[in-house]
Structure 1
Amino acid sequence: MSDIVVARRRSGWDIVLGVLLVIAGLVILAHVVWATAVSVIFLGWLGLVGGVVLIIAAFFQLGRGGFWATALSGGLLLVLGLMMLRNPAVAALTLTLVAGALFLAGGIVRLIAAFAPDAPRAALLLSGVVGLVLGLIVLFNVFEATLTLLGILLGVQALTDGIMLLLFGRLQVSRRSDLDGATGAARQG
């Protein structure tokens, strides 16, 4: 048998990547409208390329099962990517509505979960109220949020990832065998 060992590791590359992510997050937060536009166009191209790849992959499954599921999902992804590229403003509005609905639904679920027995009531109430308020702000100001929300979310995510990488490094997952590699003897433990 082997055990899975999870340990934190921070190297020089982690520090460099963390600093770059913090800088990128600050630049994105300084230009949120630009970041929103770029992220919508990037998602459109990602959908377009992913759809083409899935359609091509479907033809490699012609004699086997899964052809229609792969072909249809590739076609839908291709159409979605094309629609996002043809009208990025509508795509940004749609993604903003989805984000607002997710904030709102997540907040409501956390508020309900806070009243379950043995629940961490304070943490769930706080995060539920924050999610509910964010969802309502986005949904009641959807046109103003369309230009900035995606850029703000992207900037905050990059900034947070960079800070966490600087502070804690990366997780390293490894396996430790029952047999000691140097002596071949079974581990005691």
Structure 2
Amino acid sequence: MARTARNTGPRGEAAKLSRGFSWLAVLGVVLVVAGLVGLVYTGLATLTSMLLFGWLLLVGGVIGLLHAVQARHTNFFWLGVVVAALNIAAGVVILKTPEAAAEALTMFAALLFLTGGLFRLVGSLVVRGPQFGWTLVQGAFGLLLGILVLATWPSSSQYVIGTFFSLSLLFDGLGLIATGYGGRRIVGMVSDRLVGEEEARAQERGEAPGGAAGKPVQPE
């Protein structure tokens, strides 16, 4: 019984947490591999990301429509219906014409980079705060990236979305690997410390290592 209690104590909880962090690291490895493959095949990554985006919009629109029907007696019924219908329509359009959708999304991303970089650049020159140099570099990089994407549009739509999507997978995967590895180390250190403190308290109480109170052996 003492051994079973010990297995369900700090060691058992630590083992469960370690398995959870291990699965987190495995998921990170899968994302890293997917990100590397996407960086090699950017065209396929762009098409895959657009199809995934279309299905997300379609499924989200259907779920939103069901929620709106369930809340049809509230004041937000028609607003929910309109938003759900727009999501469904956008999802259908993206799934039917993923190449055109990629071109439109690339144009939108380029304009965001262009305007964001311009505002950062001008703001850093006007304000000149403590982060002046870093903000200036960010603004210049965003402005340059927006110009490059617009200069090669629409051919840039074949790889821009896929590259960003793959980089996101890559960095997310690296973050999960670091979290899983670090979490396993921390859990192991905390578990060893808790078990050591428990054994020290047991020795102070005069208990055996298994948890049972030590009894003096009677001489025969």
Aligned equivalent of 1:184: none
Alignment partners' CA distance in 2, 1:49 and 1:127: 36
Between structure 1 and structure 2, the one with the greater Rg is: 2
Structure 1 contact 113–119 (Cα < 8 Å) conserved: no
Give the one of 83, 96, 105 matched to 2:115. Answer: 105
Query: What SS class does the counterpart of residue 145 from structure 2 fall into?
Result: helix
User: Which amino acid is 1:162 matched to?
Assistant: G
Alignment partners' CA distance in 2, 1:53 and 1:168: 33
Give the one of 31, 38, 44 matched to 2:41. Answer: 31
Q: Offset of 1:169 from its aligned partner?
A: 5.1
Give the one of 126, 148, 165 matched to 2:137. Answer: 126
Alignment partners' CA distance in 2, 1:146 and 1:118: 36
Aligned equivalent of 1:138: 149
User: Which amino acid is 2:63 matched to?
Assistant: V
Q: Provide closer, same or farther for how the CA distance between residues 121 and 151 of structure 1 changes in structure 2, counting only shifts above 3 A.
A: same
In the alignment, does 2:95 pair up with 1:75? no
Q: Provide closer, same or farther for how the CA distance between residues 168 and 130 of structure 1 changes in structure 2, counting only shifts above 3 A.
A: farther
User: How many residues were matched structurally?
Assistant: 164
For structure 2, the residue ranges without an aligned partner over 5 or more in a row are 1-17, 184-220
TM-score (norm 2): 0.68
Aligned residue runs from structure 1 range 1-189, under 5 A = 11-115=21-125, 116-168=127-179
Instruction: Name whichever structure is richer in strand by fraction.
Output: 1
Q: Offset of 1:158 from its aligned partner?
A: 1.1
User: Which amino acid is 2:165 matched to?
Assistant: L
Identity %: 34
Structure 1 contact 47–81 (Cα < 8 Å) conserved: yes
Deviation per CA, 1:122-152, whole angstroms, max 9, x where unpaired?
1111111111111011111112211111110
Alignment partners' CA distance in 1, 2:145 and 2:157: 14
For structure 1, the residue ranges without an aligned partner over 5 or more in a row are 1-8, 173-189
Aligned equivalent of 1:178: none
Instruction: Name whichever structure is richer in helix by fraction.
Output: 2
User: Which amino acid is 1:96 matched to?
Assistant: T
User: Which amino acid is 1:123 matched to?
Assistant: W
Higher RCO (C-alpha under 8 Å, 6+ residues apart):
1
Q: Offset of 1:168 from its aligned partner?
A: 4.9
Q: Provide closer, same or farther for how the CA distance between residues 171 and 75 of structure 1 changes in structure 2, counting only shifts above 3 A.
A: farther
Aligned CA RMSD, in angstroms, stands at: 2.2
Structure 1 contact 109–128 (Cα < 8 Å) conserved: yes
Alignment partners' CA distance in 1, 2:119 and 2:179: 30
TM-score (norm 1): 0.79
Alignment partners' CA distance in 2, 1:131 and 1:93: 19
Query: What SS class does the counterpart of residue 66 from structure 2 fall into?
Result: helix
Q: Offset of 1:170 from its aligned partner?
A: 9.6
